[in-house]
A and B are shown apart, each in its own frame.
Chain A
Amino acid sequence: MSRPLDPAEVRALIRRHRRWDLMFGILGLISLAIGILTLLTLFIDMAITGIPRLSAEFFTSFPSRRASQAGILSAWVGSILVMMVTAIVAVPLGIAGAVYLEEYARRNWLTDVIEINITNLAGVPSIIYGLLALGLFIYTFGLGQSILTAGLTLALLILPIVITTTREALRSIPQYIREGAYACGASRWQVIRHHLLPYGTPGILTGVIIGLSRAIGETAPIITIGALTFIAFLPPVPFTGEPPAGLFDWLNSPFTVMPIQIFNWTSRPDPAFHQNAAAASFVLVFMTLGMNALAIWLRYRLRKNIAW
């Protein structure tokens, strides 16, 4: 047994440990600051380089060999059209899949397979989806390097995100809502249609928007399916061609999207194009962060109206 410590030593010991606590606190703050400063530097660098190029013409011009005349018209139009296809495919499929897994699925091996599968798909690198699209959509189904192919590929990519967030939204609805509806004689589908889906909307919407904001920035799968980088025309305006076949002409059109345009400009040696890349990046970041902000705001707005 060692001798008892005298109070001065104990105080010194406490001081030393307090100092360690303080040092770790500072270390934590520094680490956080590194992350946040990176983000700030990225934005500021992009803004300084890119903002001088942002003008109305930049949004209304096609890409060009001359950096000062090049614009992002075909890129942002392409991005929006591809996102439309992605949303139309991924949202119903994702919500339906999530409703099945959360409300219908029995505990059996098949359900386990589907669940493990969704978890694993979320970890598959995005470029693998590009290879899937290349082998399947382009060379097996013959869909070509079109808006439809890109939209479907990105829809499969964000499906796990939509499913997971929808399931969480459904799970957070209290059980007595379901029991109350069943007690009134509602069928299972009526419970889902009239109660669960409306109450789950904030969570589901958040998931959908986060998924789409991920999809709009994806570059690798779109490059893999061989999207062209020099597109100086617009796809036909959706749903305006000769009915019935002309309505869907836009789906088969070649296209380019924002990330591809940025990649193209970044990989050129001429610094004037780098300026264009910065300006386009600035627009793309605003699109993605704007979508994220919208998701947060929607969640906040819609949640306020529900009191369990």
Chain B
Amino acid sequence: MVDQRSDDPSAALARYARARKKRILRERIIEGVLFLAACVSVLTTVGIVYVLLKESLVFFTKVPIWEFLTDTEWTPLFAEPRFGIWVLMSGTITSSLVALSIAIPLGTIIAIYLSEFAGHRTRETLKPILELLSGVPTIIYGYFALLFVTPLLQRIYPELPGFNVLSAGLVMGLMIIPYVSSLSEDAMRAVPMSLREGSYAMGATKLQTALFVVFPAALSGVASAYILGISRAVGETMILAVAAGMQPSLSFNPLEPAATITSYIVQVALGDLPHGSIGYQTIFAAGLSLLVLTLCFNLAGHWLRRRFREAY
């Protein structure tokens, strides 16, 4: 391109300086926009905390927090409402314990098997198939727990009610297996080969190496896999809402129906509670308890990762 003014070097320089300024400005604007996009996640957290605290604070002016933590009944929609969060908490704890008693042993065994015993081909085909377990929508697991697993369990134990924590918890445990196994396996595979070689050189077998060398070395990763499994179990909603019934009772018996924090929120949302009523506020107080619970597990996970980190 031949420019008429190109013989004048000072004009060319000035044009160059303008273009440069424009370009720098454009780059600044783009960076600003990208920064704002990155801040959306922070705003989400702020929004969650704000909404939960705002409604819960109103709730706690009507119901003393002491009563909330110590009462043994949860009947917020009765004429004489009682608000004991432990009733819902017991359902959450029972169902999570049932789920974890399936997911943690099976997930750990699968992780050790895939990382230390299985060949490359087996691992590469079976791992994605297993991960499909966590890709199935949870509502379908709810259907499966209510209409397949419960009738199956009733054949073994006929007195089992149609809604129970046991079958919901079992199905939930199966769903959580891939969360535990995939992360644990990644952690075990990250253990350097030299540790295994050292162990084999001492005459240890595969199993001994896996259990006494690789597993302890990967403990921080395995622990965070467990934590992830626990927080999935605690926050799981639909399986419990469909298959565990929604009857609040302060009991740790998995053979009975129970309400959990999450299924209570679903139950209230299905009904038609006016905005601002105490029933409406209870779901935010319940949600806050749930958030605090999962936050505790996340913090425990951070701590465990630091505490047991092995540097190679």
Judged by a CB distance under 8 angstroms, whether B279 is at the interface is: no
Judged by a CB distance under 8 angstroms, whether A289 is at the interface is: yes
The segment out of B81-89, B105-113, B153-161, B187-195 that lies at the interface is B105-113
Judged by a CB distance under 8 angstroms, whether A194 is at the interface is: no
- The 18 sampled A-B contact pairs (Cβ below 8 Å) are A28-B109, A34-B174, A35-B130, A35-B177, A99-B34, A100-B37, A125-B290, A135-B51, A135-B52, A188-B31, A189-B30, A220-B237, A224-B283, A263-B241, A263-B242, A266-B139, A267-B242, A288-B135
| Cross-chain contact A36 with B262 (CB below 8 angstroms) | no
Q: How far is the CA of A97 from the CA of B269 in the complex (A)?
A: 32
| Cross-chain contact A131 with B51 (CB below 8 angstroms) | yes
| Cross-chain contact B40 with A213 (CB below 8 angstroms) | no
Q: How far is the CA of A281 from the CA of B138 in the complex (A)?
A: 11
Residues of chain B with a CB closer than 8 A to A285's CB? 136-137, 140
Q: How far is the CA of A135 from the CA of B56 in the complex (A)?
A: 11
**Interface majority SS on A: helix, strand, loop or mixed?**
helix
Given A25-B113, A135-B55, A288-B135, A220-B266 contact (CB < 8 Å)? yes
Q: How far is the CA of A225 from the CA of B275 in the complex (A)?
A: 12
Q: How far is the CA of A136 from the CA of B46 in the complex (A)?
A: 11
Judged by a CB distance under 8 angstroms, whether A298 is at the interface is: no
Residues of chain B with a CB closer than 8 A to A189's CB? 26-27, 30
The segment out of B214-222, B227-235, B251-259 that lies at the interface is B227-235
Judged by a CB distance under 8 angstroms, whether B118 is at the interface is: yes
Judged by a CB distance under 8 angstroms, whether A159 is at the interface is: yes
| Cross-chain contact A125 with B174 (CB below 8 angstroms) | no
Within 8 A of A (CB), among B33-85: 33-35, 37-42, 44-45, 47-48, 50-52, 54-55
Smallest CB–CB gap between B109 and chain A, Å?
5
Residues of chain A with a CB closer than 8 A to B132's CB? 39, 289, 292
Smallest CB–CB gap between A187 and chain B, Å?
6
Judged by a CB distance under 8 angstroms, whether B147 is at the interface is: yes
Residues of chain A with a CB closer than 8 A to B238's CB? 219-220, 259, 263
Judged by a CB distance under 8 angstroms, whether A254 is at the interface is: no
Judged by a CB distance under 8 angstroms, whether B208 is at the interface is: yes
B: interface residue count bin? 35 or more
Judged by a CB distance under 8 angstroms, whether B287 is at the interface is: yes
Judged by a CB distance under 8 angstroms, whether B207 is at the interface is: yes
**Which of A21, A96, A296 is in CB contact (< 8 Å) with B37?**
A96
**Interface majority SS on B: helix, strand, loop or mixed?**
helix
Residues of chain B with a CB closer than 8 A to A38's CB? 133, 174
Judged by a CB distance under 8 angstroms, whether A272 is at the interface is: no
Judged by a CB distance under 8 angstroms, whether A120 is at the interface is: yes
Judged by a CB distance under 8 angstroms, whether B169 is at the interface is: no
Within 8 A of B (CB), among A146-199: 156, 159-160, 163, 187-189
| Cross-chain contact B129 with A36 (CB below 8 angstroms) | yes
| Cross-chain contact A28 with B38 (CB below 8 angstroms) | no
B contacts, CB < 8 Å to A: 23, 26-27, 30-31, 33-35, 37-42, 44-45, 47-48, 50-52, 54-55, 106, 109-110, 112-114, 117-118, 126, 128-130, 132-133, 135-144, 146-148, 174, 177-178, 205-208, 210, 228, 231, 234-238, 241-242, 262, 265-266, 269-270, 275, 283-284, 287, 290-291, 294-295, 297-298
| Cross-chain contact A97 with B38 (CB below 8 angstroms) | yes
Residues of chain B with a CB closer than 8 A to A96's CB? 33-34, 37-38
- 15 new A-B contacts, CB < 8 A, other than A34-B106, A100-B31, are A24-B113, A39-B132, A39-B136, A114-B41, A126-B235, A127-B237, A128-B290, A135-B55, A188-B27, A189-B30, A224-B269, A263-B139, A263-B238, A284-B139, A288-B136
Residues of chain B with a CB closer than 8 A to A262's CB? 139-140, 143
Judged by a CB distance under 8 angstroms, whether A27 is at the interface is: yes
**Which of A24, A39, A125, A128 is in CB contact (< 8 Å) with B207?**
A24
Q: How far is the CA of A225 from the CA of B269 in the complex (A)?
A: 7
Q: How far is the CA of A28 from the CA of B177 in the complex (A)?
A: 13
